Structure 1
Amino acid sequence: MRGVSQSDCYVTLWLPTASTEKIQTKTIKNCKDPVWNETFYYRIQSQVKNVLELGVYDEDDVTQDDHFFTVYFDVAKIPLGERVLMYFKSDPKREEELEVEFRLENISGPSETIMTNGVLVVTFVFCDVSCLHVSSTHNSGGARETVSCFTSRKVCCLEVQVDEKKRKLSRKDISLTVKGSYEETQDLTLASDPIIRSSCPTKFHYVKYKQPALDVVLPKKKPYYSFHTCSYNTKADSPNVALNSLPIGEKVTIAEDKKFDLSVKAEDCSEDLDVRLGFDLSTEEQDFLCKRRKYVAAALKKVLQLEEDLQDDEIPVVAIMTTGGGMRSLTTTYGSLLGLEKLNVIDCATYLTGLSGTTWAMANLYRDADWSQKDLDGKINEARKHVTKSKMGSFSTERMKYYNKQLCQRKQEGHKTSFIDLWGLIVEYLLHDGKDSHKLSDQRQAVNQGQNPLPIYVAINVKDNYSTLDFKEWVEFTPYEVGLMKYGAFIRSEDFGSEFFMGRLMKRLPESRICYLEGMWSSLFSLNLLYIWNLSHTSEDFWHKWTRDRVNDIEEESVLPMRPHEQKTQLFTPAGPLSRALRTAITDRISVAQYHSFLKGLQLHNDYLENDKFCRWKDTVLDTSPNQLTETADYLSLVDTGFFINTSCPPLLRPERKVDVILHLNYSAGSQILPLDQSSKYYAEQGIPFPKVVLSEEERKSLKECYLFEDAETAGTPILLFFPLVNDTYQSYKAPGVMRCSSEMEEGKVDLTSRFSPYSTYSVTYKEKDYDQLVKLTEYNILNNKHLILQALRTAVERKRRHKK
């Protein structure tokens, strides 16, 4: 390290894909040109994206050590078998640079079996991998300190058991730790029932490649213990067991005492995964599509008055897409679906998507296995009862006791609770008479014969200290699966919230009742100051200038060939305390729904940034920082999609779903065209086929009830029918083609936009008149544009037929 003022410098090395430990050099005291001459070894898998973080610090005995900078270096840059000296400049003006020597060597061994979808990687068995030598040095001479990390990537299970020699033991605990394991630390109590303990030993699940060790802390007040003087132990008073040296399947005693023996046994874990890695649709959804086609084909033949039956490859995929808005969107969803039902268009649809308040309506509908085959008037009347009832009872003493009991039970089950869960219980009261035991997986009964469109609920995964413009990841929920679209990782819906490690289900938690999901899908309380700022500003440039991480690409003074999958070397310079405090204040969310991440322990493929599926949704500032992406987090932090864009469309734009027509039902407050403009801009930036929205300024000022947008030139672009929430011809017509008489004109005055409108997003109670008017308005807007709906469906069928030829 050269060019630093007199400091007590040391360097940290962090390669999370190879080790759980952040290691560091010795500290060079009072030196502006420190030389460490230390070498560190990592065993790496070349198909994993390995980014080494080299941090430079100034040691301080009184205050926290000063963090000068960190270099993010992609190990894939190092040619195999060569010694490369790199110079990382932190500040060209001050001529500060860190000199590091790298050498990459092949290590012979059995071939490795990996499972990957091109983005995420799971490794199964010992492999032919590489050894990375990292030398923090200023010159080529000098002695070097070595740290070895030679391990396999297979997932193993360690069983730890106490065999008691005497029945009467005082209550004492043994602390067991395996760093980097799923369990991390567990306490074993000697006074527990030995019969139960022998049948249920303490278990740790770990991966071999991180050189795991079992650290044992024995009771402080103890008689004489004797330990085996073998390679398993490093300390006589506190055993440290190198797990990779244990023979698989054999029981080994690591500590002996007059009263008990402590033994361990390592076993290989099953290679079966509980996380589905792949971008294709699930088997269950593909089976649903086959069954749904017969309903869609029959409905299209009837609606379009076709003479012949449609062949399978002539049937377009139609989707109904709703947007959020609290009780307003719940009410309008019922009205729109009522209009579509009267046109027989619901049976033409394959998918129905929603977010925020529209998920409340969807969840209610899918309690009934045959809802779309029945008259919706009953559902609408039931919803009216709850929308118009007094909500004061939601805060009664009896209800608060119920909330507390339910949250305590949820916490005991292993879920991480927050205010969002309380909001979910309040939603349950707002929409139901009593406890609602319905779960997302129960909705399979409503689609098992293809009798209804497949529901898709949408949320986004966010990260602390980042706005949704900087970091968000689309998450979709169906009765079959929950998945992160960008990573191509999915789990069964009943396993959502359970604990996973390396793609395996470790601890199954009871499936959340759907009211908790409804609370998360409509989490109004996840806002922050930056979101409020963005409501009146179109740019975050001001905040980025003062609060965003200072990460810049840097040039290395070494001639290395640049390959497409390699990342540029980046320099991170920490912000000052004032900037950090400001960033925390403006990005901190009031409350976020957190669920155990099913990506925990998985790793990114070396070529993940070149994967087309990943790039489709690559839109965050951390996408080129693999060590900080979601697979390294313990929890998913999920919020309402409306905190980014008020849309539930992204799951429909997965190319695997091949959606041909989208009925975009907009229920936003304020500007009706803004969410569509935001969506169009976003899809264009992502390179996702989507029709261009072309409207004149005059049209934007006075929107009509429906617009049809299409792009016949770009393959894969769906036809879009956009229904803004407006009160246009409904003021003069009570039904399509039926004028209002003078006494009926008052019913056509539905106030959607004024400050006195009863349909505020934050209003949870409507008058019966207001509820009925909103249902009738949205029903009318659908019926009055039957011609455009039929035009879109007919065009989609014609496209499919032309494509056959």
Structure 2
Amino acid sequence: MPQNGTVCSSEVRIGHSLNEAESQHVASRRVMVQQCLQQHNISSSVDEVPIIAVLGSGGGERAMIGLLGSLSQLSEEKLLDCIMYLSGVSGSTCCMAAVYKESDWSIRMETVKQNIIQRLGSGKVSHSVQYNKLKKMCERDNVSVTNIWAACFVSSVVKEIEDHLLTECRDQHTNDPYPIYTVIDKHCKHNTLYKDTWFEITPDECGYSLTGAFVDSKCLGSQFVKGAKTEEHPEIDMLYLQGLCGSALADGDKIRKWISHKLQHFFKLSEEKMPTKEPKMKEGHQVLCTLLELNHHFLSGEDHRNHITKMNELLKGSSFILTCIMKFCQWDWGTTYNFLYKMKVDEVHPSILKSKTRQYEDAGLLVNSPYFSVLRKERNVDLIISLDFSDGDPFETVDKAAQICKDLQIPFPTVEHHGTHEEPKDFYVFNDNPNAPTVIHIPFFNAGNCKGEVNMWKNRYQTFQSAYNDKMISDLLEKAGLNITNTKKKLLREIEEVIKKKKEHS
């Protein structure tokens, strides 16, 4: 794989094997995992070292802070170094983006955590900075609602504009778990093409996890025809990636109204600051307001003919900025050039290969946890630790994963749980399938860390709400930490069981 700073490969890779960079990372980290387990009096050869993956679910800022607290406590308990993979969707990817911004973050976890907490508590991104970021994003091809969502909402939650690139962390995390960000292909989800739905993004490669079609991560967004790059476009940055992964924080109507309000504010701001330099801004604001009203009336089933007439009048002599505005009217998420365009790949559905662009969105819209990235057979994961920060049914993610695995004939343990939905336990183990990894499921708010107050804690931390204050962040970190402390002995016991099974089958 090309190193940081080089031009991306011009070829698409079809195959299920791991890329070279990931294979090397796993091989070198096996020694670190072995040493970590020895500290807990668990012995194994390097070959018998279990491949352990931690999954962070979605859940907005609750998931971001929950995963941060979990990783911090895993470090405190001397367990973080036994983790091979860290994978997330939606809100958890905001935590991942924050920690992987720091090289070798896991060996200085406390400092990294405190820096993130300080930023979340006191940081702020001004409207003008958000506006300038969005304006820069609009210069790219394939502008979609994701650009607005990332520049406006995500930056407000994480309290910074993250311009650094995913591939900039190559070779900077030899002491950390290997990161996997997960999204889904929107049209594959709607067409129930579940094998083609799961799309993973790592520092080295991006692609369809179960299909086995990948491209260098530097090339995500570049144009390809028949497997060869035809036009190179700038690599996406981490702010956009978080917007891509975290676009399911609320129902569509609520997001639409929020974005509408934000965009109107931006155009009013630009008129006040640049009344003479940008003569088309006022016109742009009028078009935008009319467009948003038209969209709202259309979706509500109301008469929108007057708005169409007004829009046609405003668009006479359309300028560049008006063209940019019109791109938002489709409300498409994650529009990206398709690197599989016009290829012939037997395992990929023909509808994907015929499409010049694809739309990627929050995996939480299907399953709110990244099971299918770590269930790639080639990753040989032995143990999955599911940290579930979802709201609602505490077993929904693992139940859905089990059902889809059954439909796709992917080995997965039988999922049976007898804890109540109102007061779930803090530790569930599913391990009856010898051909599947053991799955440990830990609901965030449970009888162990909330002691009869689960519903109170759920109600306090909604998925879609304003940024948390210092007290809320502190309390949430504590609850996340308790889930690790309270289950440490059980975690170690299951790790020992996994090693025992590996020895029996070696």
TM bucket normalised to smaller: 0.7 to 0.9
Q: Is the 8 A contact 1:428 1:436 kept in 2?
A: no
Aligned CA distance change for structure 1 residues 372 and 388 (closer, same or farther; 3 Å): same
- Select the structure that is richer in strand: 1
Aligned CA distance change for structure 1 residues 776 and 589 (closer, same or farther; 3 Å): farther
Amino acid at match of 1:340: L
Partner SS for 1:490: strand
In structure 2, list runs of 5 or more residues that go unmatched.
Answer: 1-8, 254-297, 303-328
Partner SS for 1:801: helix
Give deviations 1:56-78, integer Å, cap 9, x for gaps: xxxxxxxxxxxxxxxxxxxxxxx
2:104 and 2:157 map into 1 onto residues whose CA distance is 20
Q: Does 1:479 pair with 2:203? A: yes
Q: Map of 1:696-715 to 2, 5 A cutoff?
A: 696=418, 699-711=420-432, 714-715=433-434
| Deviation for aligned residue 1:593 | 0.9
Partner of 2:14: 277
1:302 and 1:426 map into 2 onto residues whose CA distance is 45
1:401 and 1:688 map into 2 onto residues whose CA distance is 45
1:460 and 1:511 map into 2 onto residues whose CA distance is 19
Q: Is the 8 A contact 2:337 2:358 kept in 1?
A: yes
Partner of 2:39: 302
1:658 and 1:752 map into 2 onto residues whose CA distance is 36
Aligned CA distance change for structure 1 residues 700 and 526 (closer, same or farther; 3 Å): closer
Partner of 1:601: 342
Partner SS for 2:102: coil
* Counterpart pick for 2:470 among 768, 780, 785: 768
* Counterpart pick for 2:162 among 417, 431, 436: 436
Q: Does 1:679 pair with 2:401? A: yes
Partner of 1:351: 85
Q: Does 1:383 pair with 2:116? A: yes
2:446 and 2:249 map into 1 onto residues whose CA distance is 30
Aligned CA distance change for structure 1 residues 797 and 400 (closer, same or farther; 3 Å): closer
| Deviation for aligned residue 1:459 | 0.4
Partner of 2:69: 335
Q: Is the 8 A contact 1:501 1:601 kept in 2?
A: yes
Partner of 2:271: none
Q: Does 1:730 pair with 2:449? A: yes
Partner of 1:639: 361
Q: Is the 8 A contact 1:523 1:639 kept in 2?
A: yes
* Counterpart pick for 2:457 among 749, 752, 761: 752
1:469 and 1:385 map into 2 onto residues whose CA distance is 42
Partner SS for 2:187: coil
Q: Does 1:311 pair with 2:45? A: yes
Q: Report the identity percentage.
A: 26
Partner of 1:360: 94
Partner SS for 1:752: helix
TM-score (norm. length: structure 1): 0.50
1:643 and 1:799 map into 2 onto residues whose CA distance is 35
Amino acid at match of 1:602: M
* Counterpart pick for 2:494 among 792, 798, 804: 792
| Deviation for aligned residue 1:467 | 2.9
Aligned CA distance change for structure 1 residues 322 and 401 (closer, same or farther; 3 Å): closer
Aligned CA distance change for structure 1 residues 775 and 654 (closer, same or farther; 3 Å): same
Asked which structure has the greater CA Rg, the reply is 1
| Deviation for aligned residue 1:691 | 1.3
Q: Is the 8 A contact 2:59 2:391 kept in 1?
A: yes
Aligned CA distance change for structure 1 residues 749 and 798 (closer, same or farther; 3 Å): closer
Aligned CA distance change for structure 1 residues 767 and 724 (closer, same or farther; 3 Å): same
| Deviation for aligned residue 1:750 | 8.7
Partner SS for 2:390: coil
* Counterpart pick for 1:507 among 211, 231, 243: 231
2:72 and 2:10 map into 1 onto residues whose CA distance is 43
Aligned CA distance change for structure 1 residues 494 and 593 (closer, same or farther; 3 Å): same
| Deviation for aligned residue 1:362 | 0.3
* Counterpart pick for 1:421 among 115, 136, 147: 147
Amino acid at match of 1:426: C
Aligned CA distance change for structure 1 residues 469 and 503 (closer, same or farther; 3 Å): closer
* Counterpart pick for 2:480 among 768, 772, 778: 778
Q: Is the 8 A contact 2:12 2:228 kept in 1?
A: yes
Partner SS for 2:386: strand
Amino acid at match of 1:512: I
Give deviations 1:48-101, integer Å, cap 9, x for gaps: xxxxxxxxxxxxxxxxxxxxxxxxxxxxxxxxxxxxxxxxxxxxxxxxxxxxxx
Give deviations 1:554-599, integer Å, cap 9, x for gaps: xxxxxxxxxxxxxxxxxxxxxxxxxxx99x99xx984311110000
| Deviation for aligned residue 1:728 | 2.3
Partner of 1:446: 172
Partner SS for 2:215: strand
Amino acid at match of 2:146: I
Q: Does 1:326 pair with 2:60? A: yes
Q: Is the 8 A contact 1:526 1:592 kept in 2?
A: no
Q: Map of 1:389-400 to 2, 5 A cutoff?
A: 389=122, 394=126, 396=127, 398-400=128-130
* Counterpart pick for 1:291 among 16, 28, 48: 28
Q: Is the 8 A contact 1:389 1:765 kept in 2?
A: no
1:433 and 1:402 map into 2 onto residues whose CA distance is 15
Partner SS for 1:438: coil
Give deviations 1:129-184, integer Å, cap 9, x for gaps: xxxxxxxxxxxxxxxxxxxxxxxxxxxxxxxxxxxxxxxxxxxxxxxxxxxxxxxx
Select the structure with the greater relative contact order (CA < 8 A; seq sep ≥ 6).
2
Partner SS for 2:115: helix
2:192 and 2:117 map into 1 onto residues whose CA distance is 36
* Counterpart pick for 2:135 among 405, 412, 415: 405
Q: Does 1:669 pair with 2:383? A: no
Partner of 2:190: 467
2:178 and 2:18 map into 1 onto residues whose CA distance is 13
Aligned CA distance change for structure 1 residues 474 and 370 (closer, same or farther; 3 Å): same
Please say which of residues 666-675 and 420-429 is displaced more in the overlay: 420-429
Q: Is the 8 A contact 1:355 1:458 kept in 2?
A: yes
Partner SS for 2:211: coil
2:35 and 2:399 map into 1 onto residues whose CA distance is 35
| Deviation for aligned residue 1:431 | 5.5
Partner of 1:801: 503
Aligned CA distance change for structure 1 residues 348 and 799 (closer, same or farther; 3 Å): same
Aligned CA distance change for structure 1 residues 401 and 462 (closer, same or farther; 3 Å): closer
Aligned CA distance change for structure 1 residues 638 and 314 (closer, same or farther; 3 Å): same
| Deviation for aligned residue 1:796 | 1.0
In structure 1, list runs of 5 or more residues that go unmatched.
Answer: 1-271, 530-580, 609-613, 615-622, 733-744
| Deviation for aligned residue 1:300 | 1.2
Provide the aligned length of Structure 1 versus Structure 2. 427
Partner SS for 2:411: coil
Partner SS for 1:314: coil
Partner SS for 1:781: helix
Partner SS for 2:457: coil
Amino acid at match of 1:510: P
1:495 and 1:601 map into 2 onto residues whose CA distance is 17
